[in-house]
Structure 1
Amino acid sequence: MTRFRIKLTLTILGLISLVLLLMGLYFAKVLENAYLQSLHQLLLRESRLVAQVVRFPEVFFHQGNLAEQVEQIAPAEEVRVTVINRDGSVLYDNYSRFQKMENHLDRPEFQSALAGETGISRRYSETLEEEMIYVAVPVQQGDKTIGAVRSAMSIRDITDTVHNMWYSLFTGLLVTLIIGSLVVSRISFSIIRPIEEITRVAGNITQRQFESRVRIKAKDEIGQLAGAINFMASSLEQQMYEISENQQRLSGVLNNMTSGVIFISEHRRIMLVNPAVEKMLGTPGHDVVGKLHIEAGKSFGLSQYIDRCLDKKEKFRQEVHIYYPHERILDVNFAPYINFKGESKGVVVVLHDITEIRRLEKMRSDFVANVSHELRTPITSIKGFTETLLDGAMQDEETCRNFLQIISDESERLYRMIRDILDLSKIEQKRIPLQMESVHVQEVISSAVTIVQESAQRKHLTITCPDETPEIWMMTDKDCLQQIILNLLANAVAYTPENGRITIKTEVTQQQLKLQVIDTGIGIPEKDIPRIFERFYRVDKARSRDSGGTGLGLAIVKHLIDNLNGQIFVDSVEGKGTTFTILLPGVKKFT
């Protein structure tokens, strides 16, 4: 903006200088012409007067009379008077010795005078060595021109006057430029300052500093422009605030959605993904944005549906399987993006991960099948033995007792199964209220060991309990903790061969109880470990059924631990044994 101020100042000063210079030239020329015109008139009158006096033959051709008459009319200090005869010879000159003067026949003013006209000429005089102006008139006797009288005067005064005028003009121009530069600088500053202020605010607005305002109180056009800029800045600030708020809301919604959102442009490139999509695709968002969807998605089926939506511009829904980075089942909604002009500019894809839903549906189906299967076995046994008794086996007392014992065992097994199913349902729905109290952990473990001790002794199993010191007290639900330990011990007893060993360990880490149940049983195949907490899932179905297990013990353990905000981990080697590790919060005292 400083450059513009200098340019404006120099432009105004240049215009002022040009106007003054042109005016000076004009007035100098007018003044010079006026002086010259006045001088012409003076010399013309002088020449005519002398010509009237010397036109008589007794004067014109007699040197003495001629000099006397001319000196009386034209003193030498004012005007130079030269009398010339027809052949160009000088008869008299009041400034120089005429005898030594050259012939003046070729002088232009003399030639004009001989032709009967007034001759005027301006040139440098070799005799006087200065510039002179000459006016010559003819000397006539009757109709005959006998010579000419020429009056001349130096134009030094005129030149000096013009020079003085030019000096004054340039002095005035210099003074005007000095004063004008100050005035113009002030004026240009008053003009440029508001523009600079407006430019500053406009630059700040481009840098998103919408709070900037133009501080100008003028009521002229500049003031109106400043007001318009301030209004625009205020409006932009409000609009950008609303846009920012909307972007924050949209970003918050997209970032916290469990469903994935992808926006694909009309050029089939991914323009936006949310964190849920990054998790589904196993790729950071910055690695897929800008890429073609078929390249970034790594799912041919998904890409086919995206292309279909782009081409047909129709909304539809499909179930898609993806296999990278993990196998997932997605419920995908495809919808074309239409801008405010009604043009299709891309596709919005919303992905819902229904893998877990499908897994639960399968688990529910398997559960129904398993329940039907598990219930059918004891019911078939009860029905069969009952029919046998009714057909006459009741007459044999020993056979009748054996059948009744089998019916009793199967009824007990059926009862336990139904009880475990009901307990598991209540635990899942959190209908069993937790009774939080201070619990002595070693005491609960001892109580659970006592319950399974008889079954363990029948198989000659050794159960090792943790030391009583240090004592561990925690705030938890005693019944839940006892059922967790009891189910794990019962599971260990069921799957540990005779003469095996079961060890229980306790440890406190970061206010958490770490409880381990370690057995030397048959172990669990690695492929089965993720499924052991499912209902009715058995690694060794025959042995489990023979032991009277319902297949729901570990499922109950998992849900009870979740209710207590704990964690359970399994480490097993097939043929060597299994370790169940439980982490439960709420350790109150550790002494």
Structure 2
Amino acid sequence: MTRFRIKLTLTILGLISLVLLLMGMYFAKVLENSYLQSLHELLSRESKLVAQAVRFPDVFSNQSTLEERVKQVAPTEEVRLTVIDEKGQVLYDNSSHADEMENHFNRPEFMSALKGQTGISRRYSETLRYDMMYVAVPVEQDSKIVGAVRSAMSMKDITDTIHNMWYSLLTGLLVTLVVGSIVVSRISFSIIRPIEEITRVARNITQRQYESRVRIKAKDEIGQLAGAINFMASSLEQQMYEISENQQRLSGVLTNMTSGVIFISEQRRIMLVNPAVEKLLGTPGHEIVGKLHIEAGKSFGLSQYIDRCLDKSEKFRQEVHIYYPQERVLDVNFAPYINFKGEARGVVVVLHDITEIRRLEKMRSDFVANVSHELRTPITSIKGFTETLLEGAMQDEETCRNFLQIISDESERLYRMIRDILDLSKIEQKRIPLQVSRIHLQDMISSAVAIMNDQAQRKELTITLPTPQPEIYLMTDRDCLQQIILNLLTNAIAYTPEGGAITIRTEKEDQIVKIQVIDTGIGIPEKDLTRIFERFYRVDKARSRDSGGTGLGLAIVKHLVDNLHGHIRVDSIEGKGTIFTVTIPYT
């Protein structure tokens, strides 16, 4: 913008200089023509006056009379007067000796005078050594031209006047340029400054600095332009703020969605993914954006449905299985992206991971089947033995007693199963409030072992209690913790062969307390380790029923540990034994 200011200043000064020069040349020419016209008229009058005075033959042919007559008519020597005969010979000159002067026959003014005209000529005088103006008029005697009278005057005064005028003009021009430079610079600054300000704001707007404003309060067109720029900047700032807010909201929604969102362009390339998709596909977003969906998704079924949605522009829902990075079941919604012209320009894919839902549905189905199966067994036994008694077996006292004992055992087993189911339901729904109290861990474990001691002695099992030192105190729910230990002990006793050993260990580490129940039982196969906390899941079904177990003990333990904000882990080697480790926060 500085170059434009300089250009504007130089242009205005150039125009001023050109106007002054043209005006100076015009006035100089006018002045010169005015001087020349006045001089011409003066010389013409002088020449004609002298020509009238010397036209007589006795005067024109007599040199002394001629000289005397010329001096009478024109006594001053301001005007140079020269009398010339028809042959160009100088008869008289008031500035030089006539005898010493050359022939003037070839002088243009003289030649014009011989033709009866008034001759005018401007040239450098070799005699006087400066420019002269010559005016010659004919001298007539009886209508015959016998010579000419030439008057001349120096143009030195006119030339000096013109030179002085040009000097004054150039001096004025220089002063005008100096003063004009200051004035024009201020004027150009006042013109360019608003433009520079508007340009600055426009440049800031292109750099997303929408808060910039033009600080001009003028009422002219530039002020109106500045107001329009400010209004545009304010409108852009508001629109960009709204766009930014919408983008932030959209980004927040997409980022925090548990469902995956993918946008595929009409060129079948992935243009947008959210973090949930990265987790589902096991690939960072920056590595799949820009790639073809069939290359990035690594699922033929998913890509097939995307192509269908792109080709047919229809909205539909489909369940898709993917196997990388791990097997998942996805509920996928496919919808075409329609632009403002109503044209399909891509596909929006929303992926819901329903793997856990399908797993829970299977668990629920298995639970119903297991409950039905487990309930049917004791009910069938009770029904069968009852019918047998009713058909006459009651008459045999010993048989009747055996049947009634079996009915009593199955009834007890059915009662325990229903009680465990109800307890598990309450625990899952957190309907059992925690009664937190300070307990001595080793004492509580000792009381639980005492309860299970009879069962252990029947199988000749050895139970080793934790060392009493150091003493460990916990702020937790006593009933929950006792039920956890009782269920783990029950499980260990049930799956440990006769003569085996069970060891209980306690340990305090930082902010947690660790309780381990170690047995030398049959162990758990590796493939079953992830499922042993499921309801009614049994590794050895026949052994579990014989032991009177309901298949719900470890499921209850898992939920009780979760209620106490703890964690349970199982380590087992088939044929060598199992270690259950419970960690509970120490408070």
**TM-score with structure 2 length normalisation?**
0.94
Mapped partners of 1:543, 1:66: distance in 2: 175
- State whether residues 76 and 94 of structure 1, in contact with CA within 8 Å, keep that contact through their aligned partners in structure 2: no
Q: Secondary structure at the match of 2:530?
A: helix
Alpha-carbon deviation of 1:389? 4.3
Match of 1:270 in 2: 270
Q: CA deviation at 1:8?
A: 1.9
1:523-534 residue pairs with structure 2 within 5 A? 523-534=523-534
Matched residues, percent identical? Answer: 82
Q: Note the C-alpha offset of 1:354.
A: 0.9
Question: 1:103-502 to 2 correspondence within 5 Å?
Answer: 103-502=103-502
Q: Distance in 1 between matches of 2:128 and 2:460?
A: 159
User: How far apart, in 1, do the equivalents of 2:269 and 2:75 lie?
Assistant: 110
**In 1, Cα distance between the equivalents of 2:85 and 2:516?**
155
- SS of corresponding position for 1:167: helix
Counterpart residue number, 1:66 = 66
Q: Tell me the secondary structure at the aligned position of residue 530 of structure 1.
A: coil
Question: Does the C-alpha gap of structure 1 residues 90 and 490 become closer, same or farther in structure 2, counting only changes over 3 Å?
Answer: same
Aligned counterparts of 1:74 and 1:557: Cα–Cα separation in 2: 152
Q: Aligned pair in 2 of structure 1 residues 59, 556: CA closer, same or farther (>3 Å)?
A: same
Root-mean-square deviation (CA, aligned residues, Å) is 2.2
Assess, with a 3 A threshold, how the Cα gap between structure 1 residues 76 and 101 changes in structure 2: closer, same or farther.
farther
- Is the 1:260–1:274 contact (alpha carbons within 8 Å) kept by the matching residues of 2? yes
Structure 1: where are the runs of 5+ without partners?
A: none
3-state DSSP class of the match of 2:92? strand
User: CA 1:101/1:563 → structure 2, altered by over 3 Å: closer, same or farther?
Assistant: same
Question: Which residue identity does 2:40 align to in structure 1?
Answer: H
Aligned-partner SS, 2:524: coil
| Superposed CA offset, 1:210-232 (max 9, x none) | 33333333333333333333333
Q: Kindly provide the CA deviation profile for residues 57-77 of structure 1, in whole angstroms up to 9, marking residues without a partner as x.
A: 222222222223333434574
Letter in 2 for 1:571: D
Distance in structure 2 (CA, Å) of the matches to 1:382 and 1:551: 20
* SS of aligned partner of 1:358: helix
Between 401-410 and 6-15, the greater mean CA deviation after superposition = 401-410
Give the whole-Å Cα distance in 1 for the aligned partners of 2:42 and 2:152.
Answer: 10
Q: 8 Å contact 2:570–2:578 — kept in the other structure?
A: yes
Is contact 2:317–2:332 with CA below 8 Å preserved after alignment?
yes
Using a 3 Å threshold, how does the CA distance of structure 1 residues 555 and 140 change in structure 2: closer, same or farther? Answer: same
Q: For 2:267, what is the secondary structure of its paired residue?
A: coil
The 10-residue stretch of structure 1 (149-158 or 161-170) with the greater mean CA deviation from structure 2: 149-158
SS at match of 1:471: coil
More moved, 461-470 vs 18-27: 461-470
Quote the offset at 1:311 in angstroms: 2.1
Deviation of 1:355 (Å): 0.9
Deviates more, 1:375-384 or 1:144-153: 375-384
| 2:34 is the counterpart of 1:56 | no
Q: CA–CA distance in 1 between the matches of 2:510 and 2:92?
A: 141
- Distance in 2, Cα, partners of 1:108 & 1:496: 154
Does the Cα contact within 8 Å between 2:77 and 2:94 map onto a contact in 1? no
User: Larger deviation: 398-407 or 129-138?
Assistant: 398-407
The amino acid that maps onto 1:257 is M
Looking at structure 2, the residues matched to 99 and 295 of structure 1 have their Cα atoms a distance apart, in angstroms, of 122
Q: Residue 55 of structure 1 aligns to which amino acid in structure 2?
A: R
Shift of 1:169: 0.8
Please give the alpha-carbon distance, in whole angstroms, between the structure 1 residues aligned to 2:520 and 2:134. 147
CA contact (8 A) 1:104 1:110 kept: yes
- TM superposition score normalised by structure 1: 0.94
The question of whether the paired residues in 2 share the 8 Å contact of 1:519 and 1:577 is answered with: yes
1:111-153: per-residue Cα shift (whole Å, max 9, x none)?
2122211111222222222222221222222222222222222
What is the distance in 1 between the residues matched to 2:356 and 2:450? 40
Equivalent residues in 2 for 1:545-560, closer than 5 Å: 545-560=545-560
Q: How many residue pairs are counted as aligned between the two chains?
A: 587
Q: Which range is displaced more, 308-317 or 379-388? A: 379-388
Deviation at residue 550 of structure 1 after TM alignment: 1.6
The answer to whether the 8 Å contact 1:76/1:95 transfers is: no
- Aligned partners of 1:576, 1:76: CA distance in 2, in Å? 158
Unaligned residue ranges in structure 2 (runs of 5+): none
